[in-house]
Amino acid sequence: MTELIVRELQVKLEKKLIVNDIYIDLSVGQWICIIGPNGAGKSSLLKALAGIIPSTGEILIDGTNVRDLSERDRACWIAYVAQEPVMPAGMRVFDYVLLGRTAHLKMLATESPKDLEIAHYVISELDLNDFIDRDVATLSGGERQRVAIGRALTQASPIILLDEPTTALDVGYQQEVLELIDKLRKEKKIAVISTMHDLTVSGLYPDRLMLLADGQVVASGSAESVLTRENIAKHYGANVTVIDHVSGPIVIPERDRL
Amino acid sequence: MRTAMARRISPLAWVVSAVAVLFTLTLGVSIGAVSLAPLTVWSEISSNLFGTISSANSSESTIVWQLRLPRVLLAFVVGSMLASAGCAYQGTFRNPLADPYLLGVSAGAGLGATIAIFNGSGSSKILLPLAAFAGALGAVLLTYSLGRSAIAGRSSTALILAGVAVASLLTAIQTLIQQQNTDKIREIYAWVLGRLSTSGWNDLAIITPYILVCIVVLLRYRRVLDVFAVGDEEALTMGLPVAKARAAIIVAASLGTAAAVAVTGLIGFVGIIVPHILRLIVGNSYRILLPLSIIYGGVFLVLADILARTILAPQEISIGVVTALLGAPFFLFVLGSSKNGSVT
């Protein structure tokens, strides 16, 4: 049972405080979604957890301090899917998904049959068999996200960080990708931390929301408790109506009627 | 279920490559002021290697073993090094324009050679290469320390910019020295344009160990070069120690290039053209590109050297001029006739 504990996480870039005083407790199978206005520090928080940008504070996984780990060992615990994953022209979907095994290979080693098998397994799990020989650069937005998630699954880390996994997608693909993440975290016991832009969508699948403003957590908990008219007015400067719905709160911007 | 393998060189490509290598080596030794039959060439080589009886007479024997074979092998080794270094730089910097001289190797070697020539060591078979090697290595070290401290090693752009700055500085110093000693400009120029005329096996024996080690190191990083393709941030989160891997690749590529430049001067275009033509044929995976760059870099430079020796025979053209004159238009032709024109 993997557990991620974050205490007093702080990110400073060029002496400016970007993210401050973050606490997270997360177990496998759970999904936390970070929301907040542009520039609140959502992506920076994820990048700090992924080890891309420096940070201070504790990041513990099952009691192990992540900061003591090598790049490889850290990657065995935490996988990261960027907002717009780089899709190198000329790389096949299979080769791209196989890159996920890097964390489990010595730097100068090449993949064993077992690594190839894992990549194949993930590819059929994600229904990517028809894409296997496609050039990743020619994929559509939704296909790219699925392939990138496939790479993260091949990495076989119990924690996956997803930066805005649905922002570039239309509503159909959005639903498909979110359903996929939801299914995977439950079936494979993966802990997920994602950021999201669309407030209504953010309330649909994750267990908990964390509202970030100016790098600080200003509200966290269930979708119903975070997505309130007051919170959104205060931190987004938006005038909205929140409607209760069986799927989760629906956030509708209000129009000023003169 | 479809099963795919990791990228590797096909058996057909291996066969084609082996034939290409044997063919160009034989051609390189056969062609020249005195034409030799391929059979004579191999019989002489075999007699030197295995003690079989040679069908070559004594002057043919000298031409094969003392003059042409060392030169052809030197061309091959240097071509392999330049092409694989270019290929490795392109991968680790994710920049298709990266060449083996990216980090100031050429300017450093040029300055080192210039200083040696003006100190009267220009005719020395030992001091001139040594000065060029020291210059090349010094330039790369300078580039690396400047680039790293610029943004704490987090951006490879800083390193490339530092390379440009160091190259400009060293070239300026070189020009300054030249202007004060105009009588030796001709000698410098001959060096800068590159040449493969050798002192028998000596040059080859000096640089081959360095180059071999560097090539083997680069070859072992071929999978890592594919990981670099997704960019530093994502590569890091996949568990690649990005800074460490890049440093190792840079050291191997620079050291090998410096060794090659020290003996042959500056031979341009090999490091860009060969990997890029291969890209258009076999795709972008470095698992395939790097080994093939080693093979066809060698083949390319042997062929270029044959042209350099024969076009204006008995006069010899500088090899660097040949690679540029023929390589650039050929490259443009291949680029234009490729289906999508994409080289990245």
Concatenated DSSP letters of B219-277: HHTHHHHHHHTT-HHHHHHTT--HHHHHHHHHHHHHHHHHHHHHHH----SHHHHHHHH
Q: How many CB atoms lie within 10 A of CB B105?
A: 31
Q: Kindly calculate the radius of gyration of chain B based on its CA atoms and give it in whole angstroms.
A: 21
Whether B226 sits inside 8 A of A124 (CB atoms) is no
- Per the structure, the complete domain to which residue B135 belongs is given by 80-336
Q: Domain for residue A191, yes or no?
A: yes
Q: How many CB atoms lie within 10 A of CB A201?
A: 21
* pLDDT higher than threshold 90 for residue B161: no
CA distances from A187 to A30, A83, A149, A165 (A): 11, 24, 15, 19
Is A101 in contact with A119 (CB distance < 8 Å)? yes
CATH number, domain with residue B318 = 1.10.3470.10
Average the pLDDT over B46-71 and give the result.
87
| Amino acid type, A178 | L
Total domains, chain A: 1
Looking at the DSSP bridge assignments, the partners of residue A16 are: A13
Task: Give the pLDDT of residue B341.
Answer: 44
| CA closest to A52 among chain B residues | B233
Q: Domain for residue B2, yes or no?
A: no
- Per the structure, the complete domain to which residue A36 belongs is given by 3-253
Q: Kindly calculate the radius of gyration of chain A based on its CA atoms and give it in whole angstroms.
A: 19
DSSP string, B18-29: HHHHHHHHHHHH
- Residue bearing tokens 């440009």: B164
Task: Give the pLDDT of residue A13.
Answer: 87
* pLDDT category of residue B304 using cuts at 50, 70 and 90: very high
Task: Give the pLDDT of residue A85.
Answer: 94
Q: Domain for residue A258, yes or no?
A: no
Whether B240 sits inside 8 A of A71 (CB atoms) is yes
Is B81 in contact with B211 (CB distance < 8 Å)? yes
CATH number, domain with residue A242 = 3.40.50.300
Average the pLDDT over B166-191 and give the result.
85
* pLDDT higher than threshold 60 for residue B339: no
Q: Please report, in tens digits, the pLDDT of each residue of chain A (258 residues total).
A: 689 999 999 999 888 999 999 999 999 999 999 999 999 999 999 999 999 999 999 999 998 999 999 999 999 999 999 999 999 998 999 999 999 999 999 988 889 999 999 999 999 988 899 999 999 999 988 899 999 999 999 999 999 999 999 887 888 888 988 999 999 999 989 999 999 989 999 999 999 999 999 999 999 999 999 999 999 999 999 999 999 998 889 999 988 765
* pLDDT higher than threshold 50 for residue B343: no
Give the residue numbers in B contacting A (CB under 8 Å), as ranges. Answer: 1-7, 220-221, 223-224, 226-227, 229-231, 233-242, 245, 279, 283-285, 287, 342, 344
Whether A107 sits inside 8 A of B224 (CB atoms) is yes
Total domains, chain B: 1
Task: Give the pLDDT of residue A45.
Answer: 96
Distant-in-sequence, close-in-space partners of B266: CB < 8 Å, separation ≥ 6: B101, B106, B109, B110, B192, B193, B194, B320
Helix axes B105-116, B242-264, angle to 10 degrees: 30
CA distances from B266 to B45, B118, B202 (A): 30, 18, 19
Q: Domain for residue A76, yes or no?
A: yes
Is A196 in contact with A210 (CB distance < 8 Å)? no
Whether A88 sits inside 8 A of B229 (CB atoms) is yes
The two structure tokens encoding residue A54 = 């420096």
* pLDDT category of residue B122 using cuts at 50, 70 and 90: low
Question: E-strand spans in A145-207?
Answer: 159-162, 191-195
Q: Domain for residue B151, yes or no?
A: yes
Whether A120 sits inside 8 A of B4 (CB atoms) is yes
Q: Domain for residue B271, yes or no?
A: yes
Distance of residue A66 Cα from the nearest chain B Cα, in angstroms: 13
Q: What CA–CA distance (Å, rounded) separates A210 from A36?
A: 8
Is A206 in contact with A200 (CB distance < 8 Å)? no
